[in-house]
Amino acid sequence: MVQQPEVPSPSAMEAPPVVEMRKIVKRFPGVLANENVDFDLRKSEIHALLGENGAGKSTLMNVLAGLYRQESGTILVKGRPVNFVSPRDAIQAGIGMIHQHFMLVPTQTVTENILLGLDKPRFRMRLKEYDQVIGDLGDRFGLKVDPSAKIWQLSVGEQQRVELLKMLYRGAEVLIMDEPTAVLAPSEIDGLFATLRSMIAEGKSIIFISHKLQEVTAIADRITVLRKGKVTAGGQPIGEMTRQELARLMVGRDVVFHVDKKQLEPGEIVLSVANIHADNDKGLPALRGVTFDVRAGEVVGLAGVAGNGQNELSQVITGLRRCTEGCVELNGEVICNQGSLYSIERGLAYVPEDRNRVGSSPNLSVTDNVIMKKYRKAPISRGWILDMMTATRFAQELKETYDIIVPKVETPVRLLSGGNLQRVILAREFSGQPKMIVAVQPTRGLDVGAIEGVHRLLLTQRETGAAILLISEELEELFSLSDRVLVIYEGKLMGEVREADLDTVGQMMTGTPLEEIRKGGGKQNV
């Protein structure tokens, strides 16, 4: 778990701002993204910028990082007005931004990427020496990554470390991190936080963009909240604010943190998973004999530290990965190793973790995305012809029902915020009245308002009798939505729990089967 930040020293509190943004206005066609925004950053502080998706956080920081030009307003760095026309100018002034989507060359090494674009024409000849330099820099800030590894070989978390190293190598004093935890597994977040603290200790200043209250209160010294382009809290010390207050400043109304789950008697077995074995992408065993059932009107949660077979399991069930042993049945019919279309046609819905690549087609419209599973059938398809009128009407209806905020259903989904994109996917998946739903990290990266909406939609499906397998790393989410929670460790189930006993679940997540814990012989976790 994350630790509380240390109290900033008095000298840090009194230091003049490293960065000051005054009355920043930035417009996009039809949107006032930043409306007279004031923001200041002090030396050696972590200043959180909090707000829902679309609040204007990235825009404001893109202005500071020299990527966008403001329509009006001024920026001062250490008291001096600056005028950035490109990110290069901002970096020269010591300001570096790590974007949500990384900008690395996959076929090159870590060191090559870090030195890329710098005036060091002959670094390639002395790559080994530079590997050493980058390695040392990494050690200094707790950024563990192999300098000679190629980017494509790295996990997303490691790639983020490369982006940080790149900025540190260029001498950034101010680091802007745009939703850095959105791409990380919970287990990687502590590492990032430790790095941020070590950077503060070396006199750097950090702007931490997030929409997660828990993270912000754990890491930040001060906080600025944006809502619809305007500041609703300006640089308040974090200690003074409660989570409820922050939520209200962010979304403008009270947020419900727990969900109302109706008492339901589970029905017939819908999904039956029996002794499943499967390999991961590297050909190593990822699932080693997994057995469980999910009944109609029941949510079964799957807890586990990332990378313990959760993804492989969801892929075997949805027909995207072959199992080497065992069997998956949907309503008594064998669906494993039959391909995904086969299970879709038998009533399986899939809400994948990767909304942008697997869950949707970014360049296609909302309409195209919601009819994706239906275009082969009437009434949308008539023989060879797609009935676009019917398709549009169908999309309009879903837009209303699922509260998708978008001007027209013809808009490409890549322009939608994370919460709205997720609603498009849920609309598509749930409109077919699925019998079985496999939902993987359905709320990852969403803000509180959108999370609430997704939870409600899942519970509505439960009430209408769907069987749901919920795979999530958020224990709070798992225990509030699920009727029972299975815990997976290294491809095996460690048991099933119904209550949020975190001590027990924690032991199971680190490899102690429930039986052993019950026997009183549970391993002591150090």
Ligand X SMILES: Nc1ncnc2c1ncn2[C@@H]1O[C@H](COP(=O)(O)OP(=O)(O)O)[C@@H](O)[C@H]1O
CB of 206 to Mg ion, least distance (A): 17
**What residue 54 binds from ligand X, Mg ion, none (CB within 5 to 8 A, per partner kind)?**
ligand X
CB of 56 to ligand X, least distance (A): 4
DSSP state of 217: H
The distance of Cα 262 from the centroid of its chain, to the nearest Å, equals 28
How many residues of this chain interact with Mg ion, rule: CB under 5 A?
Answer: 1
CB of 270 to ligand X, least distance (A): 37
Distance CA 224, CA 222 (A): 7
**What residue 31 binds from ligand X, Mg ion, none (CB within 5 to 8 A, per partner kind)?**
ligand X
Distance CA 103, CA 113 (A): 9
* Cβ neighbour number for residue 388 with a 10 Å cutoff: 12
CB of 439 to ligand X, least distance (A): 23
Burial class from Cβ neighbours inside 10 Å (0-12, 13-18, 19+) for residue 386 reads middle
The distance of Cα 94 from the centroid of its chain, to the nearest Å, equals 28
* Cβ neighbour number for residue 298 with a 10 Å cutoff: 23
Instruction: Please give the structure tokens belonging to residue 111.
Output: 């060191």
Q: Does 272 bind Mg ion (CB under 5 A)?
A: no
Coil vs helix vs strand at 389: helix
Q: Return the H-helix or E-strand segment holding 314.
A: helix 310-317
CB of 386 to ligand X, least distance (A): 29
In DSSP terms, which residues pair with 109 in a beta bridge? Answer: 150
Query: By the criterion CB under 6 A, which residues form the site for ligand X?
Result: 28, 31, 33, 51, 53-59
CB of 210 to ligand X, least distance (A): 10
User: Which 2-61 positions form the footprint of Mg ion (CB under 5 A)?
Assistant: 58
Is the CB of 57 or the CB of 355 nearer to ligand X? 57
Is the CB of 130 or the CB of 208 nearer to ligand X? 208
**What residue 297 binds from Mg ion, ligand X, none (CB within 5 to 8 A, per partner kind)?**
none
Is the CB of 26 or the CB of 455 nearer to ligand X? 26
**What residue 55 binds from Mg ion, ligand X, none (CB within 5 to 8 A, per partner kind)?**
ligand X
**What residue 427 binds from Mg ion, ligand X, none (CB within 5 to 8 A, per partner kind)?**
none
Distance CA 204, CA 96 (A): 11
**What residue 352 binds from Mg ion, ligand X, none (CB within 5 to 8 A, per partner kind)?**
none
Is the CB of 209 or the CB of 278 nearer to ligand X? 209
Rounded-to-5 percentages of helix, strand, coil across the chain = 35, 25, 40
Residues written for the chain: 526
**Contact in structure between 105 and 116 (CB atoms under 8 Å):** yes
CB of 51 to ligand X, least distance (A): 5
**What residue 56 binds from Mg ion, ligand X, none (CB within 5 to 8 A, per partner kind)?**
ligand X
Residue in the shown chain whose Cβ atom is closest to Mg ion: 58
Distances (CA, A) of 24 to 28, 40, 58, 92, 111: 14, 12, 13, 21, 36
Coil vs helix vs strand at 404: coil
**What residue 59 binds from ligand X, Mg ion, none (CB within 5 to 8 A, per partner kind)?**
ligand X
CA atoms within 13 A on the CB side of 489: 14
Is the CB of 213 or the CB of 458 nearer to Mg ion? 213
Q: Return the H-helix or E-strand segment holding 249.
A: helix 243-251
**What residue 138 binds from Mg ion, ligand X, none (CB within 5 to 8 A, per partner kind)?**
none
Q: In sequence order, which residues have a C-beta less than 8 Å from that of residue 218 and are 6 or more positions away? A: 2, 3, 4, 5, 193
CB of 238 to ligand X, least distance (A): 19
Q: What are phi and psi of 70, to 5 degrees?
A: -75, 150
Burial class from Cβ neighbours inside 10 Å (0-12, 13-18, 19+) for residue 155 reads middle
**Contact in structure between 379 and 390 (CB atoms under 8 Å):** yes
Is the CB of 58 or the CB of 367 nearer to Mg ion? 58
CB of 212 to Mg ion, least distance (A): 13
Q: In sequence order, which residues have a C-beta less than 8 Å from that of residue 380 and are 6 or more positions away? A: 371, 374, 386, 387, 390, 391, 394
**Contact in structure between 349 and 432 (CB atoms under 8 Å):** yes
Is the CB of 58 or the CB of 314 nearer to Mg ion? 58
**What residue 96 binds from ligand X, Mg ion, none (CB within 5 to 8 A, per partner kind)?**
none
Is the CB of 51 or the CB of 297 nearer to ligand X? 51
Is the CB of 301 or the CB of 418 nearer to Mg ion? 418
CB of 107 to ligand X, least distance (A): 28
Is the CB of 59 or the CB of 480 nearer to Mg ion? 59
Q: In sequence order, which residues have a C-beta less than 8 Å from that of residue 519 and are 6 or more positions away? A: none
**What residue 318 binds from Mg ion, ligand X, none (CB within 5 to 8 A, per partner kind)?**
none
DSSP state of 423: H
User: Which 51-70 positions form the footprint of Mg ion (CB under 5 A)?
Assistant: 58
Task: List the x/- string, 276-295, binding to Mg ion by CB under 5 A.
Answer: --------------------
**What residue 28 binds from Mg ion, ligand X, none (CB within 5 to 8 A, per partner kind)?**
ligand X
Is the CB of 414 or the CB of 523 nearer to ligand X? 414
CB of 57 to Mg ion, least distance (A): 5
CB of 247 to ligand X, least distance (A): 16
Distance CA 149, CA 168 (A): 19
Is the CB of 99 or the CB of 373 nearer to Mg ion? 99
Residues that bind Mg ion (CB under 5 A): 58
